[in-house]
Structure 1
Amino acid sequence: MGESSPELSTGESNLGRLVERLSSLLSLSYSIKVFHGKWQLIRTKLEELITGLTSSQNCDLAENTAFLQLIIAILATVNDCYNHAYQCVDLSYSGKLLMQSDLGVISSKFDVHLKSLNGIYTSGILTQGYAIVVSRPSFGACRDDMKFYVNDLLTRLKIGASVMKNQALVALSEVVQEDDKYVKIVIETDEIITLLVNFLEIGDIELQEESAKVVLVIAGFDPYKDVLVEGGIIGPLIHVLEAGTDLGKERASRILQKLTENSENAWSVSAHGGVTILINICTTGEGKGDLINPVFGVLRNLVGVEEMKRFMVEERSISTFVKLMNSTDETLLINAMEFLQLMASGDAHIRQLIIREGGIYSLVRVLDPKSSFSSKARETALKAIDSLCFSSTSALNMLMGYGFLDRVLFFLRNGEISIQELAVKAAFSLSGISEETKKAMGDAGFMPELVRFLDAKSFEVREMAAEVLSSMVWVPKNRKRFVHEDCDIDRVVQLLDPDEVKTGNKRFLISTLMSLTNSNSGRKKIANSGYLKNIEKLAEAEVPDAKKIIKKLSTNRFRNILRGILNS
């Protein structure tokens, strides 16, 4: 075994003595009752030096002359600081102004030492594979221990080389996710936010991604969002969106989504060119659902600001998003439909732009039964059509021309419950267009399907189905079809049971029966129903239309039938 060189032994000895001396000085400083601001600043620098030097205790110090010289220089400053500390403890200094000046000089010397230490680390002179890392406090540790740990991480972020910085970021990410108290400590430690902002802007991918991970946690706390924005975080996040990795972009977009929940921050995103970058990501983002969802989330937040919406229109984003509705990527497709629906809300001009760009065809295409679109995509398309099309005659004509009626009927018959309910809503909107549309719905076979929904679980669906049916049978052609095709008049009468709580749509059912009494065959089928007593009970309860139905059924022609039923 070879002997250690005298220089190495001296370096290790001096380093260990210096760390002990720094720790002792730090402890002594807490007993000082004067010059609080000066000593607080010195304490912060002592903590950074302790962490930085501790991390090098197991590094290879052989032939590192610059580092050994730095140890000696720091030790001299520490000894000088000790003298001033004792004078402050004993109040034995000669004058306040002179002591303040001396402490300022000491603080400046520590600054120089920290910069020198940082330069040594970043130059790669020291091998850090065996660097000592301060242990993370156990869960439930006191705030002082947690703060000391965060300060240790801060020092590593400031003076460590790239590997050490990344390790510190990983550790910081873990603790802020583990305990909210760490988040508050990070916010109170101003330099950490500044460092995170800087790491987002540099080209080191690992530092960029890990910094975004930490910021994402912090952005989840409403009280701290303004701190991030005031710290200048939005510009660097836009930089990551434009030039970062997929993971970096995803995290940056999720952060921006949280920050832009406050509409005031929308302006900062726009000022940094964020709107155009976000739209470009959507245009080229097929297959990247983890990224696309939060990107659209940011855009949805921005479009809530009227000026941002106008800017997007000027940037021809309507055409872009209509094209995305033809994408084979459902993530893009669904987000584009939802976003256009949001943009067009309360804005007739934008609705017309969407129609002009071919949006209606794209929406109806999603409803093609032969296509392989998911239920989610079809539900979104039905909602978008309801929002965009039913207030425009030209849009309605396009809908009908693209076979929308058949699509709605198909999903009334075959869709999942959620889609069927939306199809009922679409039928409700269609029935309010014109008598011709109601005739077309009758010819297509809507009425038997609507009867099936008269006792649906959803009150809204029951109500709409009953109202659509009531509206349709007032058209003579549909009334005749309803009676002669046996569309279950008996079921309609049965649902009028006054004791049946679930129904909740009796006025439209009665209206339907009132219409059916305008034909002889309709009156006959109602009179022959096994549930006619339901109408009689309603008439006795002074329900006007029920009384009218009974009166119509009591004409000379049906009196004998009615008497036989009521006496049975």
Structure 2
Amino acid sequence: MTPPPSPPPPAAADALAQILHALLPPLLLAAASANALHSRWRALHGTLLTLQSSLVSAPASAAGHPLFADLVASLLPALRSLHALSARCQDPALPGGRLRLQSDLDIAASSLSLLLHDLSLLLRSGLLSVDSSASSPNAIVLQVPAAAASRADKSLFIRDAFARLQIGGLDLKLKALASLLELLGSDTTTEAANIVATDGDVAALLRMLDASAHSALRDRAAAAVALLATSCAASRKVVFDEGGLGPLLRVLDSGSVPATREHAVVAIEAMTADTGSAWAVSAYGGVSILINACRPGSGTLAVQALAVAALKNVISIDDVRSALVEEGGLPVLVDLLASGNTDTQKSAALCLLSIASFGDLETKQQIVQDGALPPLLQALHITTDLDLQNSVLHAIHELAAVPAAARTLCSSPLFFSQLTDLMRRGGSVLLQQMAADMVADLAPGVSDDTKRCMAPCVGTLVKMMEVSKPASLQESAGRALLALMTLKSNRKELVRDEKNMTRLVKMLDLRNEEIDKKYPVSILLALAMGGGNGTRRRLADSGACQHLQKLADAEVPCAKKALQRISSNRFKSLLSRGWNI
């Protein structure tokens, strides 16, 4: 015979009345007068009082809300179970034994505490006080507000979504997360993220990143956290303040599906861009995790790019730099520099640059030994991205302090050809200055043939010496030009263009206070020592002697010697003309 169907659950209002009038009063009395397990019943008595107070304080409209109805329906069997346990405790024989009764009572108390927690959360959310006709509370998940919806509507939706994330079952939580993702993803004003920061429960969202959470739940939670971390400063700060960096790093370090790891590293990269948050990466042991995420085969290219970008964000911190070297991160950065896309190469180059800039000679030697120089030179050769060129050339400049690296650079005509192109092309003053510095620093070890190939940049260096800001550019250009003037063919190249001569002479004018006279004087002296094509006569005719006389009177180094060279030639020329007459 088929058993009769189970009766339908009572309506929320009827169930609430049954709990308040038929179940709680005798349970409170039993808890206060239990003959066995007194300490446990005393604790339960406090829980039951809190439950009674919470149910009484619920607004009259609460019975119409599905979450409240579900909670009340769940409370009925929990309270009935406690009734049965109280009867067993009243029996002196303690049916089933004391230990079994103690275990059953602990399980029932734990279940009741969880339900009370959910009820308290629901009451604090304010959702039960909202007009049911306006909010459609009977929906499984509230409809996602339109972009033009009011802040109040969005706030209600967000509070409802976070309540369902913590109270509902897996299906309801997944639907709530999907709706929250839809709102955050479609909001171009960051208003939704700001509301989440103030009205949402981000800590609850972060708990879903735990390895014990359902994989689908963890993936959507990671996606939501990524949106919050990238939307605005307020929501990003809340994610960090609630301790989000640790769980995100654990997700990245775990065997999660690639999409989940990508969501996690998106959030990590965004959070580490805030200087106030960057320090925490080392505290959470995140350096090794990020290095591992950068290793070939450890994940998608997107994960690698974002992981190295996060390292770049925090590389200015001493502990991070030390940990990166100790954890074997240098070869990983070299691999990324050799095989990554432009953004990845840029981040890797900046990391290497920071380590080299703050490190001692031994650290720089280790970078060179790990093979950083060839991919840096290759990147400089093939890239057209100015930022990447800046980072790469700066890193090469730092590594040039290592003798082995300097020898490699000095023996590469292609490298100096690239420096020439960078100076002539312009576009970036920083690039021009670094290129000039490299020429000046490495020139003593460079062959004459290589110097000769750099002749096309001498005119550019003269122009760079005229630039007043930054002042260091004048010195860099002057040092580089002076280094190239050791070759007679380069001196001839300079004087071949009359504009170069005119510019140099104008730089000697004391009224031109923005120009440091040191290098123009030294370069004129080099030209006077042998520039060919009647250089000394042309300098004298252009008025160089008058300026040099004033500079000599002011005791500017080399001015007197340059004046003697040029004026001596002028005197000989006059004598020659006289005898010819």
- Give the shorter-chain TM-score range: 0.5 to 0.7
Tell me the equivalent position of 2:504. 492
Residues 235 and 555 (structure 1), Cα distance of their counterparts in 2 relative to 1, 3 Å cut: closer
In 2, the alpha carbon distance for the partners of 1:429 and 1:301 equals: 27
Match of 1:347 in 2: 360
Find the partner of 1:156 among 164, 176, 182.
164
The CA deviation at 1:328 is 5.7
CA contact (8 A) 1:199 1:211 kept: no
Aligned partners of 1:176, 1:41: CA distance in 2, in Å? 41
Q: Which aligned pairs between 1:278-289 and structure 2 lie closer than 5 A?
A: 278-280=293-295, 284-286=299-301, 288=302
**Is the CA contact 1:326–1:362 (under 8 Å) kept in the aligned structure 2?**
yes
Task: Please give the residue correspondences for 1:359-508 in structure 2 after superposition, counting only pairs within 5 Å.
Answer: 359-368=372-381, 371=382, 373-388=384-399, 390-402=400-412, 403-413=414-424, 415-418=425-428, 421-433=430-442, 435-437=444-446, 439=448, 442-444=451-453, 445=455, 446-456=457-467, 458-459=469-470, 460-473=472-485, 475=486, 477=488, 481=492, 488-500=500-512, 503-508=514-519
Cα-to-partner distance string for 1:332-353 (whole Å, 9 max, x where unaligned):
2222222222223323333223
With 220-229 and 245-254 compared, the bigger mean Cα shift is at: 220-229
User: How far apart are 1:327 and its partner, in Å?
Assistant: 1.6
Contact map agreement 1:157 1:168 (CA 8 A) in 2: no
Rounded to whole Å, the distance in 2 between the matches of 1:429 and 1:231 is 41
Aligned counterpart in structure 2 of residue 298 of structure 1, from 297, 307, 310? 310
The range that moved more, 432-441 or 375-384, is 432-441
- Listed one character per residue, the Cα deviations across residues 419-455 of structure 1 (whole Å, up to 9, x for unaligned) are x752442332332345453845542215344224333
Greater CA drift, 212-221 or 460-469: 212-221
Aligned with residue 115 of structure 2, among 112, 129, 144: 112
Q: Give 2:292's aligned residue.
A: 277
For 2:295, what is the secondary structure of its paired residue? helix
The 8 Å contact of residues 464 and 473 in structure 2, kept in 1 or not, is answered as yes
Q: Residue 515 of structure 1: CA displacement?
A: 3.3
CA contact 2:288–2:327 (8 Å) conserved in 1:
no
Q: 1:361 to 1:394 in 2, by over 3 A?
A: same
- Could you tell me which runs of 5 or more consecutive residues in structure 1 were left unpaired when the two chains were aligned: 1-6, 19-36, 77-104, 119-126
> Take 2:396 and 2:329, find their aligned partners in 1: how far apart are those partners?
19
TM-score (normalised: structure 2): 0.64
C-alpha change, 1:216 and 1:393, in structure 2 (3 Å) is same
Correspondences of 1:172-321 after superposition (within 5 Å): 173=184, 177-178=190-191, 182=195, 185-186=198-199, 192-199=202-209, 201=211, 202=213, 203-204=215-216, 205-214=219-228, 224=238, 227-229=241-243, 233-234=247-248, 236-238=250-252, 242-245=256-259, 247-258=262-273, 262=277, 264-270=279-285, 274-280=289-295, 284-286=299-301, 288=302, 291-301=303-313, 303-304=315-316, 308-321=320-333
Q: Which runs of 5+ in 2 are unaligned?
A: 1-6, 19-46, 81-107, 122-136
Aligned CA distance change for structure 1 residues 527 and 135 (closer, same or farther; 3 Å): closer
Question: Aligned equivalents of 2:468 and 2:239: distance in 1?
Answer: 43
The one of 317, 324, 327 aligned to 2:336: 324
Q: Does the C-alpha gap of structure 1 residues 409 and 47 become closer, same or farther in structure 2, counting only changes over 3 Å?
A: farther
Decide whether aligned partners of structure 1 residues 531 and 380 sit closer, same or farther in structure 2, where only a CA change above 3 A counts: same
TM-aligned CA deviation for residue 417 of structure 1: 1.8
Amino acid at match of 1:257: T
Q: Structure 1 residues 455 and 255, CA, compared in 2 at 3 Å: closer, same or farther?
A: closer
In 1, the alpha carbon distance for the partners of 2:346 and 2:176 equals 40
Q: Closer, same or farther in 2 for the Cα pair 1:49/1:194, shift >3 Å?
A: farther
The answer (yes or no) to whether the contact 1:283–1:324 under 8 Å persists in 2 is no
Residue type of the partner of 2:180? Answer: L
Is residue 51–residue 116 contact of structure 2 (8 Å, CA) maintained in 1? no
Aligned mate of 2:541, from 504, 528, 538: 528
Q: Which amino acid aligns with 2:394?
A: K
Q: TM-score, normalised by structure 1?
A: 0.66
Change (3 A) 1:540 1:17: farther
Cα distance change of structure 1 residues 321 and 264 upon mapping to structure 2, 3 Å threshold: closer
Query: Equivalent pairs: percent with the same residue?
Result: 18
Match of 2:66 among 34, 56, 64: 56
Per-residue Cα deviation, 1:195-219 (whole angstroms, up to 9, x for no partner): 4322464312323312442355587
**1:529 shift after superposition:** 1.7
Match of 1:31 in 2: none
How far apart are 1:410 and its partner, in Å? Answer: 2.8
